[in-house]
Every structure is written in structure tokens, then in C-alpha cells.
């Protein structure tokens, strides 16, 4: 999708209070230009408001329509760019967004705008450009090259904290199950449906042990899962010969998204739902895109990812490594370009340093 200015006919032209134009995610188009719907606040910070579609209170007794719609985020220019976000052209020091929740007005989305309780109206001024656009086919040797470069960028020492060691052990177990379960699926094409179901269940157990593990708004285990899932879904879709494995990963991701509510924070559960659809923050998307194209911009993109949150970025990067290791287990590099032969070997992700929050 390309970035562009919205037609004048779609702009909101008569709103009380201040109007703030934003760069809008295409994922919000249906909500923005559909009927007005109530939003509920999940969390509010100076740089970001995390919202979700509120339950339909007009459904009547016995007909609840609670459901979990996509996350709707309003963020400042200095915040992490979430997949379903409206990005304002101000920073959090200029205009703390949490102050916009202090009011008696409505919190709604639809009819071309997002209305905040203090009377501020956020309108889509242009579409955001998708990050990490991929080629139609990825040579597996590029995956190996990217794996080595990301591992080198993270470092190779162990953390001494027992909690970190528990995270590392569970991530390693998930990676091992990921490689083994999906390989079994590919080897039994005659009973693909049965094998895929069994492989999915073998994956869900180790993956679910990471759900909600660790402190913070998005616990470390969830960030690791999101990094792995997005890597597998995005790069796997362009990697030849891994369709059976990809179906298993997609089923696992959907199951994790269904289990997440109640097992982790609400913000993290919503973001895991986005990951199951292959969606992620811009910083993660840029790293995955650089891996797919062997871009020389990978070190800079990795630096931006590692700066996300207190330790969310390093945790997502470790998930990326886990996903790359699985993809490499499913494929054999067909060629070794001369410019990649000098790439130094790196230890697997279970030996990669866990970043500090």
C-alpha cells in the first residue's frame, strides 16, 4: 500500500474543539469511515492511547456482542508506531495524550473521525506507508545472512537473573518444538490435515508457556512470541516450499491470540491478535523487511527496534531469531552469493543476550 493524501470529500469538515490530522493505518479504514462506534480505554500514556471497540450496549439482554476488535492506538510522533495507529504530528512533551482522556465528551470512532473525551477530534490526513514490504520470493540464504547479523547485533552473553534464564529456557523449548512439529507436517503430506492438527497442538503448549511471562505492559514472553510469529508469517509467505509449516504456524498464532485474554495484559493480548494477522510495529516490520532483501539498512533498523520500550525491542529481536531458525530448518539455501560468504557464524538465539529493560 502506498502513502497518499485522502480525498477532500472524505475529510471531517465540521467538528467542535481542536482538530488534529494524523497519519492513519489502512487497518483502521473500515472503523474510521464506518458508523460511529464507542471506544473503551485500555491504557493511556503521554505518548500513546490504547483503545479498543467497546461492547455494543444496544444489543439488548441475552445478545451480547462484546467481541475483540482491533486495537485502535493514537500515538505521538515520538512513540512506537503500532500496526493500527493514528500518528499525530506532535511529540508527547508538546501534547501529552493522556490529558485528552480528561473530559466528559464521547470516546468514539466512525464517520471519518476519532473523538476524544476532551473534545479533540483526530482525523485521517493521509495513509501511513506499510513497512517491511517483501519481494515475491526470498532466497533462504538471505534468511541465514539476516540471522547472523541480528545475532551479532544482540550480543552473546547470558543474563544472570533467574527470571531471564526461565524466559530463555522457554523460548528455546518453543523454538525446538517449532522446528520439530512443522517438519513432521511437511514429511506426511498424505495425511496433511491430521498431521497439521497434531503439529499445531505440539506447538501451542510450549508457546503458551511464554504467554504473560515477565513484567511490563507487554511481558517479555509475549514480545518474543510476537517477534517469532510476525517473522514466520511475513517471511514464510515468500519462502518457497514452506506452505505446510506456515499453515501450522498460523493456526498456532490464532490459538495463542484466543488464549491471551486473561493470561496477559489487555494491551499485550490485543497486540498478539495483531501479530496473528502478520501485523506489527514499524520497528519490527523494518527489521523483517531488511532481512528479506539483505538490505544494508539492517543494522540501523535493528538499532531502532532495540530502542523500543524498556526491553520489548530486544525481546522481539530474540523472537525474530527464533523464527529465522525455524525457517532455516525447513529450507536448504540454494546458493551462496559471494558477498555473503564472509558472514561470520553466530550462535543460535538461545545464546543471544537478552536486552535489559
Q: What pLDDT tens digit does each residue of the chain (357 aa) get?
A: 344 444 443 444 455 689 999 999 888 999 999 999 999 999 999 999 999 998 754 333 333 333 356 789 999 999 998 889 999 999 999 999 999 999 888 999 999 999 999 999 999 999 987 665 688 899 899 999 999 999 999 875 445 567 788 999 999 999 999 888 655 555 555 566 676 778 788 899 999 999 999 988 999 999 999 999 999 999 999 998 888 888 999 999 999 999 999 899 999 999 999 999 999 999 999 999 999 988 889 999 999 999 999 899 999 999 999 999 999 998 865 444 444 444 443 333 333 333 333
Residue 10 pLDDT: 46
CB atoms within 10 A of CB 331: 20
State how far the Cα of 155 lies from the Cα of 284, in Å rounded to an integer: 18
Grid coordinates representing 167?
Answer: 524466559
Residue 71 pLDDT: 85
State how far the Cα of 298 lies from the Cα of 287, in Å rounded to an integer: 6
- E-assigned strands of the chain? 19-24, 37-44, 48-53, 71-75, 85-88, 108-110, 113-115, 121-127
State how far the Cα of 127 lies from the Cα of 50, in Å rounded to an integer: 19
Residue 110 pLDDT: 95
Residue pointed to by grid coordinates 475529510: 11
Amino acid at each position: 500500500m502506498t502513502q497518499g493524501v485522502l480525498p477532500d470529500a472524505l475529510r471531517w469538515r465540521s467538528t467542535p474543539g481542536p482538530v488534529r490530522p494524523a497519519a492513519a493505518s489502512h487497518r483502521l479504514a473500515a472503523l474510521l469511515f464506518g458508523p460511529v462506534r464507542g471506544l473503551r480505554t485500555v491504557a493511556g500514556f503521554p505518548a500513546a492511547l490504547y483503545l479498543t471497540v467497546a461492547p455494543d450496549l444496544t444489543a439488548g439482554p441475552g445478545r451480547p456482542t462484546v467481541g475483540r476488535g482491533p486495537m485502535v492506538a493514537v500515538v505521538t510522533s515520538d512513540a512506537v508506531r503500532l500496526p493500527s495507529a493514528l500518528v499525530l504530528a506532535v511529540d508527547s512533551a508538546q501534547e501529552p495524550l493522556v490529558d485528552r482522556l480528561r473530559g466528559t465528551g464521547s470516546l468514539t470512532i466512525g464517520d471519518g473521525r476519532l473523538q476524544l473525551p476532551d473534545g479533540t477530534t483526530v482525523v485521517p490526513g493521509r495513509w501511513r506507508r506499510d513497512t517491511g514490504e517483501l519481494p515475491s520470493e526470498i532466497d533462504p540464504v538471505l534468511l541465514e545472512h539476516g540471522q547472523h547479523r541480528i545475532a551479532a547485533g544482540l550480543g552473546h552473553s547470558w543474563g544472570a537473573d533467574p527470571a531471564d534464564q526461565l524466559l530463555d529456557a522457554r523460548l528455546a523449548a518453543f523454538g525446538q518444538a517449532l522446528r520439530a512439529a512443522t517438519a513432521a507436517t511437511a514429511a506426511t503430506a498424505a495425511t496433511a490435515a491430521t498431521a497439521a492438527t497434531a503439529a499445531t497442538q505440539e506447538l501451542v503448549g510450549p508457546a503458551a508457556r511464554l504467554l504473560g511471562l515477565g513484567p511490563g505492559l507487554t511481558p517479555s514472553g509475549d514480545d518474543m512470541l510476537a517477534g517469532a510469529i510476525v517473522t514466520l508469517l511475513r517471511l514464510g509467505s515468500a519462502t518457497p516450499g514452506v506452505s505446510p509449516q506456515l499453515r501450522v504456524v498460523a493456526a498456532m498464532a490464532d490459538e495463542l491470540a484466543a488464549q491471551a485474554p486473561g493470561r496477559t495484559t489487555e494491551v499485550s493480548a490485543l497486540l498478539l491478535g495483531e501479530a496473528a494477522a502478520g501485523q506489527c510495529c514499524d520497528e519490527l516490520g523494518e527489521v523483517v523487511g531488511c532481512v528479506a532483501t539483505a538490505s544494508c539498512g539492517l543494522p540501523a533498523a535493528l538499532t531502532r527496534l532495540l530502542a523500543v520500550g524498556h526491553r520489548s525491542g530486544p525481546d522481539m529481536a530474540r523472537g525474530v531469531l527464533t523464527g529465522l531458525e525455524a525457517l532455516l530448518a525447513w529450507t536448504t539455501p540454494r546458493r551462496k552469493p559471494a558477498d555473503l560468504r564472509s558472514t561470520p557464524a553466530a550462535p543460535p538465539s538461545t545464546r543471544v543476550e537478552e536486552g535489559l529493560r
